[in-house]
C-alpha cells in the first residue's frame, strides 16, 4: 500500500481529540461531509476548507490524546487525509485510525526533518511531498522534484495490516463473516 500527498505541518505535541474534532459535535449523527467540515476546527480553523484528498499530516508527540472518540479519526479521513506521520500517537487514536483505514506511522526522524523546513504552524508546504510505502515501511520526503531523504519505520503487525487493507474493521469483519 502506497500513499503520496501534500503535507500539512502541525508542530505541536499533545494535539488532543477535542482539537481534532470538537466534543460539541459528538452527540449529533453527522454525515461524512459534515464531519469533514469540523476537522481540526479548534486547532486550525482553515484546515477543513483547504484540506483535499490524499493529504498527509506531519505532527509531534502523542497525537490524538484525550478521549476515545472515533470521530477524531473519521473527520480527518472524510476531509481527505490518507496518512498521519507523528513522533508518537495516543494508543486509542492509533487503534481507531487502523480500524478506520487511516495510515498512522510513527517516524520521529521524518517528522524532525519536515519540521526543519521552516514551515510555519499549520502550513501546507506546497513544494513538500511525502511518499509512504506502508508494506515496506519506507517514507520519502521530496522538496519540489528533489528527494531529501528516505526513512524506515516499524511495520504494523499482520492483523493490523489485514484490517487496514480490508478498508477498516467493519469491512474486515464483514469479509470474515
Q: Where are the domains of the chain?
A: 2-176
Residue 118 and residue 1 in contact, taking contact as beta carbons nearer than 8 Å: no
Instruction: Please state whether the predicted TM-score (pTM) of the whole model is above 0.75.
Output: yes
| Residue-level pLDDT, tens digit, the chain, 177 residues | 888 888 899 999 999 999 999 999 988 889 999 999 999 999 999 999 999 999 999 999 999 999 888 999 999 999 999 999 999 999 999 999 999 999 999 999 999 988 887 555 555 556 678 899 998 999 998 877 777 789 999 988 899 999 999 999 999 999 998
User: Closest Cα partner for 96 from 8, 171, 164?
Assistant: 164
- Buried/exposed code over 86-117 (b: 16+ C-beta within 10 A; e: otherwise): bbbbbebbbbbbbbbbbbbbbbeebbebbbeb
Cα→Cα distances 89→68, 108, 167, Å: 12, 11, 21
Superfamily of domain 2-176: Aconitase, domain 4 (3.20.19.10)
Amino acid at each position: 500500500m502506497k500513499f503520496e500527498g501534500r503535507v500539512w505541518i502541525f508542530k505541536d505535541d499533545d494535539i488532543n481529540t477535542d482539537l481534532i474534532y470538537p466534543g460539541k459535535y459528538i452527540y449529533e449523527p453527522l454525515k461524512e461531509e459534515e464531519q469533514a467540515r469540523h476537522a481540526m476546527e479548534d486547532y486550525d480553523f482553515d484546515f477543513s476548507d483547504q484540506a483535499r484528498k490524499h493529504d498527509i499530516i506531519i505532527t509531534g508527540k502523542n497525537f490524538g490524546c484525550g478521549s476515545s472518540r472515533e470521530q477524531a479519526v473519521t473527520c480527518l479521513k472524510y476531509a481527505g487525509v490518507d496518512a498521519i506521520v507523528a513522533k508518537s500517537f495516543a494508543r486509542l487514536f492509533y487503534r481507531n485510525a487502523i480500524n478506520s483505514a487511516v495510515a498512522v506511522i510513527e517516524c520521529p526522524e521524518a517528522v524532525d526533518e519536515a519540521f526543519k523546513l521552516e514551515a510555519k504552524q499549520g502550513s501546507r508546504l506546497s513544494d513538500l511531498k511525502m511518499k509512504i510505502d506502508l508494506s515496506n515501511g519506507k517514507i520519502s520526503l521530496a522538496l519540489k522534484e528533489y528527494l531529501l531523504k528516505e526513512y524506515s519505520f516499524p511495520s504494523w503487525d499482520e492483523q493490523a495490516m489485514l484490517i487496514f487493507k480490508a478498508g477498516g474493521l467493519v469491512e474486515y469483519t464483514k469479509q470474515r463473516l
